[in-house]
Amino acid sequence: MSNALLSIRTDDKTKREVADFAASVGLSISAFVTVILKQAVKEGRVVLSPTLEPTPYLEKLMREAKADYKAGKNITRTTNKAELEAYLNSL
């Protein structure tokens, strides 16, 4: 795979913040930018919001859990640590 140089300009603070974030997820700035660019091209969009959205599968599980809670189904209540530990050890 050949490499092409892409040069961008940003302020020092942004560069440091991007470098710190990239390092926190185990990437160099170059690798981080490459991942972001490839994702944008693949999906045909750029998400600029930091909000997290549940997947459809997680939304389904959340609806089921809410329905179970309302119905009192699959709910175990304990009143102290000893009861909780006894219940968890019984599983």
pLDDT in tens, 10-49: 999 999 999 999 999 999 999 999 999 999 999 999 887 7
In angstroms, the CA 65 to CA 14 distance is 41
Segment among 27-31, 33-37, 50-54, 69-73 with least mean pLDDT: 50-54
With vertex at residue 36, the alpha carbon angle to CA 31 and CA 41, rounded to the nearest 5 degrees, is 125
Distance CA 18, CA 83 (A): 47
